[in-house]
A and B are shown apart, each in its own frame.
Chain A
């Protein structure tokens, strides 16, 4: 039997972490969390998740910088940006920094789960 896929949820808002965890529970994923960009960069290496959900606006290190550092460390894990930043310029910045998908808040659970499954090849 294959192990559950591990997803790293990164957001400084505990409300969003809770919401994403509950949405992902429907897909029976194993979830680990991080509260800012620095923790995300560390856990992307240590936890070796199958997928990362990454917020943009966070203290200490924002999501774009975390994304650049994760990619610079040659971590090829698919990354979905999940953010309030819905302008085209932000999306372009996300894709240019190496994200796989871009989802705007407020989170649509159906959309998020579909993108998660797509990124995990399910």
Chain B
């Protein structure tokens, strides 16, 4: 019996179509898996950043070391080499610069509470991140609070060029961590009498 060439051709075409569909489905599955893997890697990185930052902040009761830790987190994990850490004065009327990296503006040494973007954000007790509407290259102001009690502020200026001017969701989480855990670590080190104040 001779096979019908037309029927054979139709069957071959059908098989090829099914193979194409299987391949397309496999490629789609691979694409989804790759995306999930990338997402998992991203989430792992973010958790790792937060974990390391938290560990660093609470690894010391020495005030200078806590301030160094805050600097290291901003420089190496968030990505900015211009920052200042401020402490609220005893009369609670001004912010005094106690630790800085890459700042050259003397006017930033002492800031009246409520004045300028740094003083205002501190007074309100609300972080301003990425939208400071200011020409001083200010990227973020994070009030340092122990509970509801303001003890100072962190000001972060220009980001590293490779950041492309962009803050990630993880950067914002790190700012939040610095505002709470950074404040607690700084407060604890001051109470423990570790090394006095700087600046």
Interface residues of B, Cβ cutoff 8 Å to A = 38, 41, 44-45, 48-49, 51-53, 55-56, 59, 69, 72-73, 75-79, 81, 160-163
Interface size on A, residues (CB 8 A): 18
Min CB distance B53 to A, Å, is 7
A14 at the B interface (CB under 8 A): yes
Contact B41 A16 (CB under 8 A): no
- Pick from A15, A18, A84, A109: contact of B79, CB below 8 A: A84
Contact B56 A18 (CB under 8 A): yes
Complex: how many Å from CA A19 to CA B161?
21
Chain B at the A interface: mostly helix, strand, loop or mixed?
A: helix
Contact A84 B76 (CB under 8 A): yes
* Pairs A-B, 10 closest by C-beta atoms: A86-B162, A15-B72, A13-B72, A106-B79, A15-B56, A19-B52, A104-B162, A109-B45, A16-B76, A110-B41
Task: List A contacts of B56 (CB < 8 A).
Answer: 14-15, 18
A22 at the B interface (CB under 8 A): yes
Contact B75 A19 (CB under 8 A): no
Complex: how many Å from CA A34 to CA B48?
21
Contact A109 B41 (CB under 8 A): yes
Contact A106:B81 (CB < 8 A) given known A84-B160, A86-B162: no
Complex: how many Å from CA A15 to CA B78?
12
- Pick from B41, B55, B161: contact of A86, CB below 8 A: B161
- Pick from A23, A86, A106: contact of B76, CB below 8 A: A106
Task: List B contacts of A86 (CB < 8 A).
Answer: 160-162
Min CB distance A39 to B, Å, is 18
Contact A22:B52 (CB < 8 A) given known A86-B160, A104-B162: yes
